[in-house]
Amino acid sequence: MLSALSSIRQTSKQATKVAALAVLASSVVFATGCANKRTGTSEVVVAPLGIPGGQGVYTGGAIVSNSGAILDAAQNIQATVYFDFDRSDISSEAAAVLNQHAALLASNPSASVLVAGHTDERGSREYNMALGERRAQAVRTYLASQGVTGGNVQVISYGEERPIATGNDEQSYQQNRRAELSY
Protein backbone atom coordinates (compact mmCIF):
# COMPACT_ATOMS: atom_id res chain seq x y z
CA MET A 1 0.00 0.00 0.00
CA LEU A 2 2.83 2.39 0.89
CA SER A 3 4.54 1.47 -2.38
CA ALA A 4 1.36 2.28 -4.36
CA LEU A 5 0.99 5.65 -2.58
CA SER A 6 4.63 6.49 -3.34
CA SER A 7 4.09 5.55 -6.99
CA ILE A 8 1.02 7.81 -7.18
CA ARG A 9 2.96 10.73 -5.67
CA GLN A 10 5.80 10.21 -8.16
CA THR A 11 3.33 10.10 -11.08
CA SER A 12 1.64 13.25 -9.76
CA LYS A 13 5.00 15.08 -9.58
CA GLN A 14 5.81 14.05 -13.15
CA ALA A 15 2.39 15.20 -14.35
CA THR A 16 2.92 18.56 -12.62
CA LYS A 17 6.30 18.96 -14.34
CA VAL A 18 4.82 18.08 -17.71
CA ALA A 19 1.98 20.55 -17.19
CA ALA A 20 4.43 23.28 -16.18
CA LEU A 21 6.53 22.64 -19.29
CA ALA A 22 3.41 22.74 -21.46
CA VAL A 23 2.40 26.10 -19.98
CA LEU A 24 5.92 27.45 -20.51
CA ALA A 25 6.03 26.20 -24.10
CA SER A 26 2.62 27.66 -24.92
CA SER A 27 3.68 30.99 -23.39
CA VAL A 28 6.75 31.08 -25.61
CA VAL A 29 4.69 30.19 -28.68
CA PHE A 30 2.09 32.84 -27.81
CA ALA A 31 4.72 35.50 -27.15
CA THR A 32 6.41 34.88 -30.50
CA GLY A 33 3.32 33.99 -32.51
CA CYS A 34 2.80 37.49 -33.86
CA ALA A 35 4.95 39.81 -35.90
CA ASN A 36 5.93 42.96 -34.07
CA LYS A 37 8.35 45.75 -34.58
CA ARG A 38 10.48 46.42 -31.57
CA THR A 39 10.50 50.09 -30.75
CA GLY A 40 13.95 51.62 -30.91
CA THR A 41 15.56 48.75 -32.82
CA SER A 42 15.91 47.74 -36.43
CA GLU A 43 14.54 44.23 -36.14
CA VAL A 44 11.23 42.76 -37.13
CA VAL A 45 10.55 39.44 -35.45
CA VAL A 46 8.25 37.08 -37.28
CA ALA A 47 7.12 33.76 -35.90
CA PRO A 48 5.40 30.90 -37.69
CA LEU A 49 1.69 31.21 -38.35
CA GLY A 50 1.12 27.53 -39.05
CA ILE A 51 -1.59 28.13 -41.62
CA PRO A 52 -2.55 24.82 -43.23
CA GLY A 53 -1.90 24.89 -46.94
CA GLY A 54 -0.59 28.44 -46.79
CA GLN A 55 1.70 28.26 -49.79
CA GLY A 56 3.80 31.36 -50.08
CA VAL A 57 3.00 32.59 -46.58
CA TYR A 58 6.19 33.48 -44.77
CA THR A 59 6.50 31.06 -41.88
CA GLY A 60 10.22 31.07 -41.25
CA GLY A 61 10.47 32.74 -37.85
CA ALA A 62 13.46 34.75 -39.11
CA ILE A 63 14.78 38.08 -37.90
CA VAL A 64 15.07 40.77 -40.55
CA SER A 65 17.76 43.35 -39.75
CA ASN A 66 18.40 46.56 -41.64
CA SER A 67 20.80 49.44 -41.13
CA GLY A 68 19.71 52.70 -39.54
CA ALA A 69 20.18 54.56 -42.84
CA ILE A 70 17.72 52.26 -44.61
CA LEU A 71 15.22 52.63 -41.78
CA ASP A 72 15.55 56.41 -41.90
CA ALA A 73 15.01 56.45 -45.67
CA ALA A 74 12.02 54.11 -45.39
CA GLN A 75 10.34 56.46 -42.89
CA ASN A 76 9.98 59.01 -45.69
CA ILE A 77 7.99 56.60 -47.86
CA GLN A 78 4.34 55.69 -47.36
CA ALA A 79 4.39 52.18 -45.86
CA THR A 80 0.86 51.10 -46.78
CA VAL A 81 -0.82 50.30 -50.08
CA TYR A 82 -4.55 49.74 -50.38
CA PHE A 83 -6.71 47.32 -52.36
CA ASP A 84 -10.24 47.24 -53.70
CA PHE A 85 -12.83 44.87 -52.24
CA ASP A 86 -11.94 41.21 -52.87
CA ARG A 87 -8.98 42.21 -55.07
CA SER A 88 -5.25 41.73 -54.92
CA ASP A 89 -4.16 43.62 -58.04
CA ILE A 90 -1.84 46.60 -57.73
CA SER A 91 -3.55 49.92 -58.48
CA SER A 92 -1.75 52.87 -60.05
CA GLU A 93 -1.70 54.60 -56.63
CA ALA A 94 -0.13 51.52 -55.05
CA ALA A 95 2.38 51.25 -57.92
CA ALA A 96 3.56 54.82 -57.28
CA VAL A 97 4.22 53.98 -53.62
CA LEU A 98 5.84 50.64 -54.44
CA ASN A 99 8.15 52.27 -57.02
CA GLN A 100 9.66 54.31 -54.17
CA HIS A 101 10.18 51.14 -52.12
CA ALA A 102 11.68 49.38 -55.14
CA ALA A 103 14.16 52.24 -55.62
CA LEU A 104 15.16 52.08 -51.96
CA LEU A 105 15.60 48.31 -52.06
CA ALA A 106 17.47 48.40 -55.37
CA SER A 107 19.92 50.97 -54.02
CA ASN A 108 20.41 48.88 -50.85
CA PRO A 109 20.74 45.25 -52.02
CA SER A 110 21.25 43.94 -48.48
CA ALA A 111 18.02 45.53 -47.22
CA SER A 112 14.99 43.37 -46.47
CA VAL A 113 11.32 44.20 -46.22
CA LEU A 114 8.39 42.34 -44.71
CA VAL A 115 5.07 42.71 -46.52
CA ALA A 116 2.01 42.00 -44.36
CA GLY A 117 -1.28 41.42 -46.16
CA HIS A 118 -4.55 42.43 -44.47
CA THR A 119 -8.26 42.27 -45.27
CA ASP A 120 -11.50 43.68 -43.95
CA GLU A 121 -13.71 41.48 -41.76
CA ARG A 122 -16.05 40.30 -44.50
CA GLY A 123 -15.52 36.67 -45.52
CA SER A 124 -14.39 33.60 -43.59
CA ARG A 125 -11.12 33.56 -41.66
CA GLU A 126 -9.62 31.07 -44.12
CA TYR A 127 -10.67 33.13 -47.14
CA ASN A 128 -9.29 36.32 -45.61
CA MET A 129 -5.97 34.67 -44.74
CA ALA A 130 -5.65 33.56 -48.37
CA LEU A 131 -6.66 37.01 -49.67
CA GLY A 132 -4.15 38.71 -47.37
CA GLU A 133 -1.50 36.34 -48.70
CA ARG A 134 -2.43 37.14 -52.32
CA ARG A 135 -2.15 40.85 -51.55
CA ALA A 136 1.28 40.46 -49.95
CA GLN A 137 2.42 38.24 -52.84
CA ALA A 138 1.15 40.82 -55.35
CA VAL A 139 3.35 43.43 -53.68
CA ARG A 140 6.30 41.02 -53.72
CA THR A 141 5.72 40.25 -57.42
CA TYR A 142 5.46 43.95 -58.27
CA LEU A 143 8.70 44.74 -56.41
CA ALA A 144 10.41 41.85 -58.23
CA SER A 145 9.21 43.29 -61.56
CA GLN A 146 10.99 46.51 -60.56
CA GLY A 147 14.29 44.69 -59.99
CA VAL A 148 14.09 43.86 -56.28
CA THR A 149 15.59 40.48 -55.40
CA GLY A 150 12.85 38.09 -54.26
CA GLY A 151 14.90 36.94 -51.28
CA ASN A 152 14.82 40.46 -49.87
CA VAL A 153 11.02 40.48 -49.65
CA GLN A 154 9.24 38.28 -47.15
CA VAL A 155 5.46 38.00 -46.90
CA ILE A 156 2.97 37.19 -44.19
CA SER A 157 -0.82 37.30 -44.06
CA TYR A 158 -2.86 38.50 -41.12
CA GLY A 159 -6.18 38.39 -42.94
CA GLU A 160 -8.77 40.21 -40.83
CA GLU A 161 -6.86 39.73 -37.55
CA ARG A 162 -5.25 43.20 -37.31
CA PRO A 163 -7.72 45.86 -38.39
CA ILE A 164 -6.72 49.53 -38.45
CA ALA A 165 -10.35 50.69 -38.31
CA THR A 166 -12.94 48.87 -36.23
CA GLY A 167 -16.10 50.28 -37.78
CA ASN A 168 -18.58 48.35 -39.91
CA ASP A 169 -18.80 50.88 -42.72
CA GLU A 170 -17.17 51.14 -46.13
CA GLN A 171 -14.61 53.72 -44.95
CA SER A 172 -13.38 51.33 -42.24
CA TYR A 173 -13.32 48.41 -44.66
CA GLN A 174 -11.22 50.46 -47.12
CA GLN A 175 -8.62 51.21 -44.45
CA ASN A 176 -8.33 47.52 -43.55
CA ARG A 177 -7.82 46.27 -47.14
CA ARG A 178 -4.09 46.85 -47.26
CA ALA A 179 -0.52 45.61 -47.41
CA GLU A 180 2.03 47.11 -45.03
CA LEU A 181 5.77 47.22 -45.69
CA SER A 182 8.14 47.06 -42.72
CA TYR A 183 11.92 47.30 -42.86
34-45 tens-digit pLDDT: 333 333 333 333
Q: Could you tell me the pTM of the whole model?
A: 0.65
Q: How far, in Å, CA of 98 to CA of 82, rounded?
A: 11
Give the tens place of pLDDT for each residue, 108-122. Answer: 888 999 999 999 999
Give the tens place of pLDDT for each residue, 60-95. Answer: 444 345 667 777 778 889 999 999 999 999 999 999
Q: How far, in Å, CA of 128 to CA of 141, rounded?
A: 20
Residue of 125, 120, 135, 153 whose CA lies nearest to 46? 153
What does the buried/exposed string (b/e) look like for 33-51 if buried means 16 or more CB atoms within 10 Å of the residue's CB?
eebeeeeeeeebbbbebeb
Q: How many CB atoms lie within 10 A of CB 89?
A: 11
Domain positions in the chain: 1-32, 34-182
- Whether 91 contacts 84, CB under 8 Å: yes
Q: Does the domain formed by 34-182 have CATH 3.30.1330.60?
A: yes
